Amino acid sequence: MTVKGITVERVLEIIEAYGAYPNGWPEEERLSAEAMIDAQQDTFAAALADARELDRILAEGAIVEPSADLAARILASAPEAPRLGMIARLKDILFPQGTRWPAGATLASLAMGLIGGYAYASTGIVYDEAGEAYYSAFSYDAETAWVSEDAE
C-alpha cells in the first residue's frame, strides 16, 4: 500500500535508520510516514517497539570502558614502528611521499637557485655594473627617453 508516495518498506527503513520518533525523520517523508503508520498501526507496532528500545539504550549513554587487559592485548598486538636513523628521518620530513614530484622539483629549483646565485656573485660584477649588465641584456638604453619631449 502507498500513502502519498511512500511504501510500507520505506517506512520500515525510516524507522530502522532514524528511530521511532518522527522528529528525527527526513522532513520530506515525515508526514507521509506518519499517515502510513496511523493507517496501519499493527504493521509497524513491532518495528516501532524495537526502535524505541534501541533509542532508550542509546539515550542512556552507558558506554562500557574496555578492561585494562583488553587494552594491553591490543597494544601488544600492534606492530612496532621501525627505528629510523637521523638521515632517514630527515628524508621522511623532506619527502613525505617519497623522492618524487613536487618535493623533488622544489629541492632541484632551490639547488639551481643557490648555484646560479653563487655563480653570479663570483663573477665580480659590482652593484654599479649590475645595472649596466641588465640594460645591455634587455636592450634598454638608459640614455634613450621613452616619451618624446615634443609630444604635448
Within 57-143, strands assigned E span: none
Q: How far apart are CA 80 and CA 83, in angstroms?
A: 9
Q: So where are the chain's domains?
A: 2-60, 86-137
Q: What are phi and psi of 2, to 5 degrees?
A: -125, 130
Q: What residues does 3 pair with on adjacent strands?
A: 6
Of the candidates 38, 52, 56, 59, the residue with the CA atom closest to the CA atom of residue 11: 38
Upper half-sphere CA count for residue 141 (Cβ side, 13 Å) = 4
Mean pLDDT per segment of 10 residues, for the chain of length 152 residues? 75 92 91 91 92 88 82 88 78 71 76 82 64 66 56 52
Record the pTM. 0.40
